[in-house]
A = this chain, B = another copy of it.
Amino acid sequence: MARAADASQLRTRPEDAEIDLEGLVGYNLKRAYVVVSSDFRRALGEDGFAPRQFSALSLIVQFPEIIQSELARKLGIERSGLVSIVDDLEGRGLVSRMPVPGDRRVQALTPTKDGRSAYLNARDVVRAHEAALLSDLAPEEVETLIGLLQKIRKTEA
């Protein structure tokens, strides 16, 4: 009966430990995202865009007149969660909610002139932040990383 206890001891010996947390993709993803998003906020400054406002604005610039539910779908969040993001962007005068002729339920989102230029500016800052933060990685490593992350994203329901 000491045998079972011994087996349990063996499985927790130091040599096994190293393959635990550090070998998990999820743990490394989380920790790496904390590093990147902290640096993102630092780079964009006190009253700059948070990651989610930046992502939303980027898609609104890319797909002008996108409706809110479609934008939420693209971002992978609920419609209700998008409301405060759009409220914020609209409050800063960067985005307009516009009625769509033919369907009075929906709101089309369009960047204002300010919104477009604020986005282009922020985009450059974000690119610089990533270039600096990832300067230890070769360009092809960054490509590989993005490719692998997109492969994981595609496994989504």
Give residues in A with beta carbon < 8 Å to B. 8, 11-12, 14, 17, 20-37, 40, 51, 55, 58-59, 61-62, 76, 116-117, 120, 123, 126, 130, 133-134, 136-137, 141-142, 144-146, 148-156
Contact = CB atoms under 8 A, between A and B. Distances in A.
B146 A8 contact: no
A30 B115 CA distance: 24
Contacts of A12: 61-62, 116, 120
Contact of A58 (B20, B36, B151): B20
A83 to B, nearest CB: 19
Given A11-B120, A123-B20, A31 B149 contact: yes
Contacts of A145: 25, 28, 145, 148-149
A156 B136 CA distance: 12
Contacts of A76: 31, 34
Given A36-B152, A141-B148, 4 more contacts: A12-B62, A12-B120, A26-B40, A137-B152
23 contacts: A20-B62, A20-B123, A21-B58, A21-B62, A22-B146, A23-B146, A24-B126, A25-B36, A25-B134, A26-B130, A27-B55, A28-B145, A28-B146, A29-B33, A29-B36, A29-B149, A30-B33, A31-B76, A31-B149, A32-B152, A35-B156, A134-B152, A145-B149
